[in-house]
Structure 1
């Protein structure tokens, strides 16, 4: 409650509103200049409209039901806005707001760790200035952005022992993309073994693993005529299905280590850490354990876009990088 009361008087609300406005103006301007791509913006604009009209949300680009894409059921409540007025600018506005309000749980986590108001505000600025936040805002629309403040909120809820809010947050995160089940499971492992938040840790670990299995083995194949999730093709050298990929990671470790121990891995590590490297200490890197499934997935992928700060793939790593920075400064 103390954090909430202090939040009301902090300049954080001002910077959050300003950030949301700037992000929305930038993404809208890009769209007005015909720089949006049909394959991302077009997909989500179309399926959101179809959902709002009560029609089957089958993408003309992917030729598959929306739930067969990434099992992102979070787009269903978003479609309520299209009932008011169908416009792609709703998606851009939601994206800008979700990216901007990540400052609030970041500030709260910093205050909970013992940082004073000025340092907590500085952490909110660090969050806003992290390259992937602005860059992703300009890269069309992705449901993952709606998960970012919820992931930060889930960490805060766990630290405050607010189990109900924690559950609500991770359920929403899981509804934004099937692959987000991995960082949720990683978060559960970190919370359980390192933060000693046994209940929240166990819930997240179970929920992450369970949703990964349900989404990739049942939901997506059901809406995709039995085909596996689209991302499987990025790991074709390891196998043609998730089961084969997981099996070959153990049976053929040379394929995995060949990717992990490479110049591209070093480059990716530098990209992730350089923006905040001055505030990182080795003994406070344990939060990154939660991000390790996402990091491994990006490193092992054949797609270079998964190893930059322009696309959405590195977004789930950000909350745990921020936790490492907060822990270092709080020492």
Structure 2
């Protein structure tokens, strides 16, 4: 479905277009710094060449396979059909699969690989999966450490029955040390070196905990109740928890030790004061999917016992569970079984986001004709307008970046001391691509687009003002049914 979504011009600059642009720059410049700009994502180089070979459709196809086919197969073989069904109906899985492209998707097969390796008593494979998890993105290094805590806990709990408990405990210690060490190196050295900031730690969402990693840790250790109070004070965070656990009938809570690797992303979501981190429709739920499904599988026996005490037969319990899973999927998931698929309420979830119409074909043709393929020509596009050759250039902006004033484009140079940040290239958008019939965005801030229109009047006014300014500064080269392409006329 993600491939259909791309073909229907329903992918976004945030974040498929962003990654396409970065992959292109990485492959052209070879700058290792791209992998550590903003986030530490060492898989960047591999994916850059996958993108060059297979294009955006290849990226989306590989992401879909990594999120669905491989995990479902592993879960089915290790835990049986009901956990596999729960996985395939689980809303966060669909949200991650259909929300453009993110490295976070790798967390699902890697965490499942860790659990399956543990279940099959393979220390080497468990270590490999958990260590690779840290390279997905720097927050996942905390999950690597949490995987180590899980192994230590299980080794202590089963020490009398497991002759390999000491080896598992040692493996856990390795994961704790490696995860915390990589998180420190990434956030305190690599990201600041290539970005000039601490990345996510410098975001307003977390600076209320203190300036710098050390102060944040001390603040949390001296105020351990903060995740609970922050969650209780925010209805959005309570809804996030309900979606993640409630759509699995809260069964994962019946086997809590298997949730230990899920604690870092849960704590990040509860402590963040930016909605992006606890929005259940974002990719930040990727680190929760595998732990919750595995905990669901291990909680099933307890669920059956509870149902038996309530007078429900095993068959009735399974039917009740299937009903809960299916209702949750119908209510929230962007699949053909979901209610939102057949409604125009949420544009990106509706069927129109998967089937290109005649207008979409005209837009594609206009982009191909009027936007030069020259990578030196810069483009700014409205967030939900990412297509074709637009990202394959030196400067690719999300509107209105680069439109009204020049914006710095990062670059790297190789010197005797290794890759270093090169002087920023100031670039201004040569072309601007807008569509008033797609959700209105200024950068990544939308305007609550419901039933085909903007329902946030303040955001709508800001968007209209920006478009009016574009019409003053840029020449209109193409317009058709609300879709417009502008070319810069002034010298930046």
TM-score w.r.t. structure 1 length?
0.79
Which of the two has higher C-alpha Rg?
2
Q: Is 1:286 matched with 2:257?
A: yes
Range with bigger deviation, 271-280 or 132-141: 271-280
CA distance change for structure 1 residues 75 and 213 in 2, over 3 Å: closer, same or farther? same
User: How far apart, in 1, do the equivalents of 2:234 and 2:21 lie?
Assistant: 39
Gaps of 5+ in 2: 157-167, 303-492
CA distance change for structure 1 residues 195 and 260 in 2, over 3 Å: closer, same or farther? farther
Q: How many residues align structurally?
A: 288
Question: Please, which of 88, 96, 107 is the counterpart of residue 64 of structure 2?
Answer: 96
Equivalence for 2:278:
307
Where is the strand percentage greater, Structure 1 or Structure 2? 2
> Once superposed, what is the RMSD of the aligned Cα atoms?
2.3
Deviations 1:92-119 (A, max 9, x none): 1121111011113322431xxxxxxxxx
Deviations 1:24-49 (A, max 9, x none): xx112222232222131122112222
Q: Is 1:133 matched with 2:102?
A: no
Cα contact 1:232–1:242 (8 A) shared by 2: no
Cα contact 1:181–1:211 (8 A) shared by 2: yes
Alpha-carbon deviation of 1:79?
A: 2.3
CA distance change for structure 1 residues 278 and 244 in 2, over 3 Å: closer, same or farther? closer
CA distance change for structure 1 residues 281 and 56 in 2, over 3 Å: closer, same or farther? closer
User: How far apart, in 2, do the equivalents of 1:319 and 1:254 lie?
Assistant: 26
User: How far apart, in 2, do the equivalents of 1:213 and 1:266 lie?
Assistant: 30
Aligned to 2:257, what secondary structure does the other structure show? coil
Where is the helix percentage greater, Structure 1 or Structure 2? 1
Question: Please, which of 25, 28, 37 is the counterpart of residue 53 of structure 1?
Answer: 28
User: How far apart, in 2, do the equivalents of 1:293 and 1:173 lie?
Assistant: 13
Equivalence for 1:31:
6
Alpha-carbon deviation of 1:255?
A: 5.7
Question: Please, which of 78, 87, 90 is the counterpart of residue 47 of structure 2?
Answer: 78
Equivalence for 2:346:
none
CA distance change for structure 1 residues 251 and 205 in 2, over 3 Å: closer, same or farther? closer
Cα contact 2:240–2:280 (8 A) shared by 1: no
TM-score w.r.t. structure 2 length?
0.55
Equivalence for 1:274:
246
Deviations 1:176-209 (A, max 9, x none): 1100011221121112113553233222222211
User: How far apart, in 2, do the equivalents of 1:55 and 1:81 lie?
Assistant: 14
Gaps of 5+ in 1: 1-25, 59-64, 111-119
Question: Please, which of 136, 142, 150 is the counterpart of residue 110 of structure 2?
Answer: 150
Alpha-carbon deviation of 1:151?
A: 1.0
User: How far apart, in 1, do the equivalents of 2:41 and 2:62 lie?
Assistant: 15
Alpha-carbon deviation of 1:253?
A: 6.0
Equivalence for 1:259:
230
User: How far apart, in 1, do the equivalents of 2:222 and 2:252 lie?
Assistant: 35
Equivalence for 1:229:
199
Equivalence for 1:187:
147
